[in-house]
Structures are given as structure tokens and as C-alpha cells.
Structure 1
Amino acid sequence: MQIALGRLLPSARNLIREDFLEFLATLARDLPDWWVCEQCVKLHRSRKFDNSKRIADSRCSRTPRSNSYYWMNSESRLCHQHVQLALKYARMDNRKWAYQKYLDAVLAPRHMTTGAKTPGLKYRASYYPKIVKGRFLILGVLRFEKNKNVVSADTIRHMTICMHQYFCVSDLILLERLQALNPQPPLNPTLALSTAIGAGLKNEGVEARGFCPQCPTDFSFRATPNRAALCFWQDLGPEGSPLNLTWRVHVDNTSSADNPIIVCHKEPGSIRSLYESGFGKRV
């Protein structure tokens, strides 16, 4: 390791930061115990307990607390190294027991139950990671059940599934006004989720499908007065640099609303199909 780096690093150090991170990511592909740190612009050795389950220990000591990550619940989130190490170990044949254990930990389902988000309803959020054809995918399922109140737009209140799609009740009012002017108004890229939720609430028990035009996210919504489920499928990308846009588009909370990261979703339904084509945790 040290000899190889000693030969390669002098010339690679002349690269700009983005290219040097790509260089390190390529190097790390064949180093099972190492991952690329965006903050240090170095390779760090992996730690067995750093597998997305323990927030306090998962970041490099030089990485600020506001660093981007994929949030799943109050105790679990995915940083870039978790995704990259899992992709690397899934690719390996005859992997060590320690690598298998790490992989299982990263791909374990995550759940969160709370009533604070939706007063009057029971709410449960579940996340199911999966690796399919060298890509790290996530299925998220947000479930709402009647408690004191029935399921409706007013009791669901608001939801978000990516950096570009946010539902709130006022969106349905806006959509009704647009449809009154034009029965088939042009698709507003930021109202795709609200359009699907509105259709699902209107057509009881019928699945309404949609996608985010600005990131690789597919989703569906189905509702009755007693229960509703919002499912979304996201592609967090393949092995690569921390600057890979397929990763950044899901986690970068530093981009402004006026200048968000956008990765066009050119094939609606393709993320869901890819996720459902994979059996078990890994393919």
C-alpha cells in the first residue's frame, strides 16, 4: 500500500481536487479496507463499527457535523463511505466474514415510528437498501394509518422524498386551479409528488405513480381513508468519487433552492424496475 502510493501520489498531486478524488476512488476499488474522504482528500482505513448505525463515530474527525449524508432515522444514516464499502464488498468473491458482516449491517432495513409528524395518524417510515447490478438502491416506504383521524391531505400535512419533491396541502389547491384553467397543464417538475398524492387521494385504493424529473427517484402513492403508503425508489449510484452527482443529488444540503443539483431522470420507472429485478439483498 505505502509503496504503491509512494509511486503514484507525486504525479497525481498535480491534479485538481475533483480529479484527485476520482484518482483516489479508482485506487480504493482494489483496497478493501480503505475509503475516500472528501474532507481530507485522502484514503482512510475503514472501521468495523462504522456501518451507518452509529452517528457519533461514523465521520472523519475533520469532517464537519453538517456533512452531507442520506438520512434514514434519528440513529441511522448513510455516508458516502458506507455506500462505497458496501458496493465494494458486494462485488468481491469469497469475501471475508468481516466484510460480509459489514455489508449485512449497511443493507439492514431501518425503521422509525412516530406520531409527532402526523398528529391523529399512526406513522411509520421504513428504508430497505439493496445492491443491484453494481448500484446502491433504496426503497423507502412511508405508511400512514387512521388513529384519531382518517387519512387525508390535511392529516398527512406534508412529506418530502428528495431534494426536489415536497408535498403540502396548498399544492393541491394550486393544482386544482391549474387544472381549472387547463385540464392537462404542463408538468411542473416540483409538483410531481403532489400530483401523485392528489390523484391517489382522489382515486381510493388506486396506485398513482410518478417520478422526480430532477433526480433518479421513482415513487407511488396509494390511499384509503384508513391507510396510505408512499413508496419511493432511489438510485444512490455506483462505486465512485464522493463528488459523483448521482450521490450528491440525494444528499447535498449545501446547494441553494435557486441552484440545486439536478440529475435528469430520463427513464421514469427504471429505478423501481431495477430494484424489483434484484433478489434478496445483493445481486
Structure 2
Amino acid sequence: MGHSQMDPNAAIFQLSPDIFLLILKHLALHDKFLLSHTCKAFRHSTYHDWDSEISRLSSSDRVGFWAGLAYTLPDYWACPKCCKLHLINTSDVPATLYRQQLIPCQADISRGIGTEMYSIHHHHIQFALKLSRLCKHQQYLGALMKPYTDTRISLLNPLTDSYTAEPNIITKQFILREEWNISNDTSTTLPLFPENGTFHMPVCPHLGLTSSGLASSRMRKKWDAERLQLRHKMTELEELTLFKEMTLIEDGIAFAFRFPGNWIYNSCLRCPTDIGIIVSADERKVTVRAWHNFGVEGSPMGTNWRVHVADPSQAWATLGSYMDYTHRSVRTLWMEDISDETKSKAQTGILGRKLH
């Protein structure tokens, strides 16, 4: 960014020095940095020893500084690992194999829960929001927002399972809808969730199947709850409450089998994720949907992102990141954004139930 001469008659230079300095005082550091590169007048009025100033920031604020710079730069994104701006790479999309090798410092900035071929990273979300706002790199934006589907034959024939991811930007927020389907299209009586299967469903860091069978998934989470109870000196009631929270998916699937053909809705209690579960009337197919709200543009250190990220150093249900939100709001936002025709079809014959 080069310096240029600004018109001395510009309105901002007609302000009194006190008001002008008051405005500068309330600017974020990254805004002052950008302002200092616009003209000589602003360079002098916003002078800082930038290297020294940035080095004194906390690690979180330092990442926030670079994220603030990236907000206005369509070709760059802020990396929390090396605290630098990385140049755009239009080959780097959520469905890319070996995507980590496309990042200069090979930072893993994904949710950390993906076992699917589709892995959304923080910079994917930020680029999508930014490029839709700046109307730049529209071909890359299209690639970032492209829906993804993967259908597989289970190792336990005749079961098949599929995964679909569909991103959307609604009211300047990045919303991701994921869907898992398990089906048995034959006349055999093989259960949809066999205990000896290998199917996993990482809905969010706090909800999901940890193994194919509902009973074995519950058992693993029971062990996790017991370890957390010992580590954090919980009461028996607190441990039981945590276990019920951890097994909302298992409970939801079991409840859906009691009412086939009807949607069962619930929400994660820790991150902005709404879920819907339905078992077909013939009980040969189960669908689990999740709607995630990753929020508006911001730093990878911000709550909007961190609350969706699994911590590999903790048990899967960590007592850390938590974000209060209105349950059902993400699903409602998604439904309000689709056409009336699609909405009426989606709602026909569906009974929404709240699982308690």
C-alpha cells in the first residue's frame, strides 16, 4: 500500500484537533495501521513503532490484529499459527484432498471433528463471507460454497451411508447444513446401527456417534462422563446431567424409532448447532441433519469459531468453550432463507417433536 496525498479540504481534516484525536483514540490497532498507509497526514497522526506495538499484544489480540487487516484485503487471510497473512490459494476448498499441504505453514485450522472428505476451515468461512461482501474472486467463492455429497457402501452390506454438506450465507452469517443418511434397501433385517459396524457421525464437538452401535456409543460416553466426574470432582447429579447432554444424538435416534415418519428436533447445549432426526415409516432409513451457525466475519480466536472446534487434548465433551444461543434459531434461519415452495415441501407431513 503506497502513500498518497489526501485532499486537505476533505471533511475529516475540517474537524477540530481534539475531535480528530478522539476518533483516532477509539480506532482498533489494525484500523490505525491501515489508516497510516493512506497518506502522509494520517501516517504522522497515527505513528507507531508497529513491530514493538504488535509484539506487546497477547497471542489472541495479535491474531485479531492480522484478522482485522485481512478484513479489507480480498487476497489474504490471517493465520493464527504463524500470525501472518497468507495469500489466497483458489485450489484450497473444503472438499480438497491433502488440503493442509496447500497452507504455507501447514496449520490445521479445521473443526477437528471431521472424518468425512469435507473439512471446513476457518479461512474458508472468512473468505466466503469476505468475497461475498467485496464481490471479488467470485469463481473461488462459488467453489467454497459448492455443496458436497459422498455416498458409500457400508462394510456391512446391504447398508449404505451418505454424507452431504451444504454451506450458505444468510444475513451475513455462515451457516452449514450437514446431513447423514443410513439406509437398508433390501429385505434383510440387518439393523441400521449394528454394534460391529464402523460408522461414525461427528455432528459437532459435543454431539455425535462415537461408534456405529447406539449401545456402544453410549458406553464410551459413559466412560468419558465418569472420567470427567473424577477430574472435575462433580456430584453424581452433575455427572448424570453431563451424560444426558452427551447422548442427545443417541436418545434422539432411539426416540425417532418410536415415532417413524416424524422429525425429532433438538439442539446442542454448548454450540450454535440445531439437529433434526427422522426414521422412515418402513424403518429402513434414518436421516440426521445438523445446522451450524459459524457467525459473521471475525478472528479464528473468537468464540464464534472456537466453540465449534474440538480440543484434541480434552475428552470429546470438554467443559471449555460454550456459547449461549436461542435453540432452533439456526434451523429457523435456514428455513426462512429457502423459497416458499421448497419450504412447503420440506414441511409437508412432518411433525416436529422436542426431545426432553
TM-score, length-scaled by structure 1: 0.81
Which residue of structure 2 aligns with residue 126 of structure 1? 164
Unaligned runs of 5+ in 1: 175-184
Structure 2 counterparts to residues 214-229 of structure 1, below 5 A: 214-224=270-280, 225-229=283-287
Match in the other structure for 1:178: none
- 1:155 and 1:170 map into 2 onto residues whose CA distance is 10
User: Which of 300, 312, 316 is the matching residue for 1:242?
Assistant: 300
Query: Does the CA-based 8 Å contact 1:210-1:218 persist in structure 2?
Result: yes
What CA deviation, in whole Å up to 9, does each residue of 1:60-80 have, x standing for no partner? 23225x553464732x42221
Task: Give the length in aligned residue pairs.
Answer: 264
1:15: which partner in 2? 57
Report if aligned partners of 2:183, 2:285 keep a CA contact under 8 Å in 1.
yes
Per-residue deviation at 1:54? 2.6
Q: 1:113 to 1:172 in 2, by over 3 A?
A: closer
Provide the C-alpha distance between the structure 2 equivalents of 1:27 and 1:195, rounded to a whole number of angstroms: 45
Are the structure 2 counterparts of residues 119 and 264 from structure 1 closer, same or farther at C-alpha, using a change threshold of 3 Å?
farther
State whether residues 110 and 128 of structure 1, in contact with CA within 8 Å, keep that contact through their aligned partners in structure 2: yes
Task: Provide the C-alpha distance between the structure 2 equivalents of 1:235 and 1:218, rounded to a whole number of angstroms.
Answer: 9
Segment of structure 1 superposing worse, 213-222 or 262-271: 262-271
The answer (yes or no) to whether the contact 2:152–2:161 under 8 Å persists in 1 is yes
1:151, 1:227 within 8 Å by CA — same for their partners in 2?
A: no
Q: Which has the higher contact order (CA 8 A, sep 6+)?
A: 1
Deviation sequence 1:130-155 (CA, Å, 0-9, x none): 01112111111111221344574534
Greater CA drift, 213-222 or 236-245: 236-245
Match of 1:269 in 2: 328
In structure 2, the gaps of 5 or more residues are 4-32, 38-46, 220-239, 340-356
Letter of the 1:223 counterpart:
V
- Structure of higher CA gyration radius: 2
The AA in structure 1 aligned to 2:285 is: R
Percentage of identical aligned residues? 25
> Which runs of structure 2 are paired with 1:43-192 in the superposition (5 Å)?
43-57=85-99, 59-64=102-107, 67-69=109-111, 71=114, 73-74=116-117, 76-92=118-134, 95-96=135-136, 99-116=137-154, 119-148=157-186, 149-150=188-189, 152=191, 154-155=193-194, 159-167=201-209, 168-170=213-215, 188-192=244-248
In structure 2, how many angstroms separate the alpha carbons of the residues matched to 1:21 and 1:172? 37
Checking the alignment, whether the CA contact within 8 Å between 2:306 and 2:321 is kept in structure 1 is no
Q: TM-score under structure 2 normalisation? A: 0.66
Distance 2:311 2:144 in 1: 22
The CA distance in 1 between the partners of 2:192 and 2:285, in whole Å, is: 12
Distance, in Å, in 1 between the alignment partners of 2:191 and 2:264 is: 15
> CA RMSD for the aligned pairs?
2.9
| Matched-pair contact (CA < 8 Å) for 2:267–2:327 | yes
- 1:184-216 deviations in Å (ceiling 9; x for gaps): x96821121112111101111111111110111
Question: Contact 2:161–2:180 (CA<8 Å) still a contact in 1?
Answer: yes
